[in-house]
Chains A and B, each alone.
Chain A
Amino acid sequence: MSYTTITLTEAQPVANYKMATRIEGGRLLYIAGQVARDADGEVLGKGDIRAQARQVFQNVRNVLQAAGGDLGDLLKITTYITNLDDFPAVAEIRSSFFPGTLPASTLIVVSRLAQPELLIEVEGMAAIG
């Protein structure tokens, strides 16, 4: 593992994620915000947050694997959604992708994403190798 998980008792996360991570080695990978588009650029799962969330986290994993890593190498992710009511479904699907604790994490409700059909976007950084 190329990073350390920062643990402390004075402050606690509000869900199943790490409070902070610190790079100890390896390469620093930045991942573009991933959205639920297919290879033709079409938005998948219009109106379906679960379908979009699955595609987005799969895309994040694809980028990590293409860089020689995997989800366990993530230092931090930011999940942007357009409707707070979608969060329980997003949290459930997100947890299914991560075997243990999530990386350091931020959840933000934004007014919209690059296209109006997009319901979720996830970006992150990882330490690879």
Chain B
Amino acid sequence: MLFSSYTFLFQFLPATVLAFAAARRHSPRAGILVLAAASLIFYGAWRPIYLLLLIASVAVNFSLALGMEDPLRRRAIGMFGVAFNLLLLCYFKYAGFFLDTISSVSGVPLPYTSLVLPLGISFFTFQQIAYLVDIMRGARVERDIVSYTLFVCFFPHLIAGPLVHHAEMIPQFKQAHTGRSGMLAARGLAIFAAGLFKKVIIADTLAQFASPIFAHVDEGGIVTTSWAWLATLAYTMQIYFDFSGYCDMAIGLALSFGIRLPVNFRSPYQALSIVEFWRCWHITLSRFLRDYLYIPLGGNRFGNRRRYSNLILTMLLGGLWHGAGWNFLIWGGLHGIYLSINHLWGSWRYEEKYRSRRNSRFGLIQTWLSWAVTFFAVATSWVFFRAQTLSGAWKMLTGLFGFGPEGTAYESQGILRLMDLPILVGSSWLLLIGSGMVAVAISVALFSPNVSQIFGYREYRRPADPDCFVQWRPNGAWAVFTALALSVSLLGMWQRLEFLYFQF
């Protein structure tokens, strides 16, 4: 069930909100019980058989955690639990990739049946690994199965994040927020509308300038420089508006129930360095990789060489988390190298100065150059992330720089799709319109405040972001803006494109 589907918006959500409100009048615990049940129904609506997998995963991890209350067995059970989760993830997500690789290297055909990847498995597995690791480190064991189930399965974040931490979720389930529920619901609705607009109107419109061109290079064709740049930049913007739109919708939905999810994006394309980019892009994944991989590997505690190898290894695994394929590995490796270069450059040239963006000593040209280099590095790395094949990625990259192999050049049919309604405009006009749309999207990403700034959103037990020049208020003007975003998105929803992060 997609957030941007009529079934979700007009059936599932109203029913859940009403049931939650009714249960909440009874007690907060009844409220979370309703949310847990609704979340399981939400997941089961996709493929009921995989609901059993989710329930089994939750039950096993909950039981293991209870067993870890005994200090003598804590470490052993914890290690077993982490291994169990990793095995589950590997079986569904990576077995095919590993067997394919072994098969192509050895030339021996290995029997393997391709499995449908259970939705959100990367997310709910990682969240539970973090929980077990934290208990090994001394965190409190949760004894309430309903709170634990809701922490893992809460439907706004279940399928595609943000990756939530037990310490920021479970305490919220035990508090009563009824005192401010109207205000939270209003803010939640406004944030949801913004996310829906980002997904349905911006990201899904940009998809038409990326998908057919990447499909063409994946099938062995080549692209001219102009189409290659259009496709790469369109995808760069599409993935941002798609994923951040999803996260905004998740935050808005959760807020309607009085629950605060962590922010996942803070204007990442405004970053002036790769380090800053990763502090603003998929923040909850970066946090997980830092706390449960990079730091345990040694972090920066054993000298620069070890620090860079840790960074590269962390990012390689971060790439692999997104999907089982060489392209994801290369994408992660590239970002590991970028981060290492960034740190090296920082310590060599600017020491800590580069960290403080918009420093008065950081001149306009340097600022612009830093942004351009960062954006260029990020955008070109998306080529590996988006292309289905290595040769496709290579052809797109060679297309970007105007050289490359022979092949059938991409020829557009010249059909513009507005809310999936086809309009014949011709190839050259399509290129022009696509470039214009990408330029508008880049401008929005660069110059507009992000959702948490506009809506004054505050994460759990954290201060709100500083005010910006646009501030949401529950007044008439914002009602009109929100209504416009909602109604335009509702019209565009008939195209039903999945969220990009569903595949991860």
A and B: bona fide binding partners: no
A interface residue numbers (CB < 8 A to B): none
B interface residue numbers (CB < 8 A to A): none
